[in-house]
A and B are shown apart, each in its own frame.
Chain A
């Protein structure tokens, strides 16, 4: 399972890449693999205020529809409009082309609630048992 070193993670399998005041967010390789082929993604609107651990997107796959929660609080400054036409990008490239949105982080201290790559790796290994 691919767990890049430069990201932070949630137990609900979202990731955040912090770039200055902003964070790029998406779902992990583990998440896309468990969901199977993704067929539709309902993304947050640009300008929407996200709250940490609350709804930010819904992902539909051939197996199920699942909610995605915001890893950090903040305002959505950009969404990945490519995903509307090509939801499979999340399956193919969960950490790169399959990003969901960029948010302007409103509370940097929330970083403390996220998992490091090592912690997330250990967490997902526990789930696979």
Chain B
């Protein structure tokens, strides 16, 4: 497909502006004005409409295709949440309203949504307080590690290290590092869980926090989780829960009961808000006990008369981390989702998500090596294409083949500790028929690896672009269209 710049024709316009009927005055100093025209595409309205309509039809999304991208939890976003967010009463509110004198009374509904969402998240996770302000999961993580730092500082402790397992999401060590901590990585043992001997060795009075997901990135629930959190607490360290895998345990167990002190939730991974290509996202951060004193301002409070307001007077707060109160529209969608599904619905979400992943694991484990010899997984299963490797077929080739079959590929080459990893997370909304079609395509790919590996090497063949040269794209990135010099 040609770029819109390449469809440009000199002088063609999408709109006709009326003649200037006021005196012309130059508002900008000449030094701020460009000497050459900006070289914008010159197209008609119809050209622009067709261009972007056709681009949108090339999009691969949960709304068009099965999208089992492990660790990313590509949940279907039910459309009623869009309707809630589009309500004029919410979408037309001015974000500064609650800060203006008397303005808070004109935004009670929105403040109540924030307050109630925080309290529902507390109920689901067992935490004592939540802030919905962080603007994405990684932002929530950084906020969480800043809370760790503020807590230890308040206690007069100097601590240097944050422990993460080698199966962790890359954002865990990144957040800890950006917040100023040195990261200590603990390897995964033969059983697929964090190596406890090594963990005990590195745990000391210098450790500020231990960051974990549970179920972990390999899709397993660690039965020793309580021992891990108890040991950390004995050393005076805090336990941080990466909520990326919360979709597996809704209503089944709570991070606070496992012994976690701080956590974040990716609303898009668990509460069906859009998984933005860079945003807007939402990564609420939750804490237990006295850690609530350090949460970012402002806090939404319920006053004695039942009205809601923003409270900025928190002595120990880490301060401001986001403009306004987070991505309100996203929080609103998550709130609508929680209310519509209710307690029983949310429990069923997790049950179905785990059932779907186990169904995939059970049917695929004869064709692809499971990452670890376990009968059951949680919400995602990690398989390896290492058996296909001998025939010259990599996980990448299988992923590309699946595109031709109409599926978004699963996550590949993650977790890093699994050779030729393929991480399948079907989520709770897919039917058995859809799972079967996907599984058949995976089995077919495995058979082709033996019979006709070149068929896999050349995939995809049905897409607007064929196999991309990812190495050249990374080594010599061509990121920007440039006009040919005249």
Residue B475 is within 8 A (CB to CB) of chain A in the complex: yes
Cβ-defined contact, A62 with B471, below 8 A: yes
Partner of B471, one of A34, A39, A66: A39
CA–CA, A9 and B68, complex, Å: 39
Which B-chain residue is minimally distant from A63 (CB atoms)?
A: B413
* Chain A proximity mask over B161-204: 1 for CB below 8 Å, otherwise 0: 00000000010000000000000000000000000000000000
* Chain B proximity mask over A48-67: 1 for CB below 8 Å, otherwise 0: 00000000000010111110
Size category of the binding interface on chain A: 10 to 19
Residue A98 is within 8 A (CB to CB) of chain B in the complex: no
CA–CA, A34 and B414, complex, Å: 13
Q: Which A residues lie within 8 Å of B19 (CB)? A: none
Cβ-defined contact, A64 with B414, below 8 A: yes
Residue B29 is within 8 A (CB to CB) of chain A in the complex: no
Interface centre among A34, A40, A63, A66 (most CB of B within 10 A): A63
Cβ-defined contact, B475 with A87, below 8 A: yes
CA–CA, A129 and B170, complex, Å: 27
Tell me whether chain A's interface is mostly helix, strand or loop, or mixed.
Answer: mixed
Partner of B474, one of A34, A62, A66: A62
* Chain A proximity mask over B449-486: 1 for CB below 8 Å, otherwise 0: 00000000000000000000011001100000000000
Residue A88 is within 8 A (CB to CB) of chain B in the complex: yes
CA–CA, A63 and B395, complex, Å: 11
CB within 8 Å of A: which B386-435 residues: 412-414, 416, 419
Partner of A64, one of B413, B470, B471: B413
- Report, nearest first, the 10 A-B pairs whose CB atoms are least far apart: A39-B474, A37-B471, A63-B413, A62-B470, A39-B475, A64-B416, A62-B471, A64-B413, A62-B474, A39-B471
Write the residues of chain B forming the contact surface with A, with a CB cutoff of 8 angstroms.
Answer: 170, 412-414, 416, 419, 470-471, 474-475
Q: A37-B474, A64-B414 are in contact. List 9 more A-B contacts (CB 8 A).
A: A37-B471, A39-B475, A60-B474, A62-B470, A62-B471, A63-B413, A64-B413, A64-B416, A65-B170
Write the residues of chain A forming the contact surface with B, with a CB cutoff of 8 angstroms.
Answer: 34, 37, 39-40, 60, 62-66, 87-88
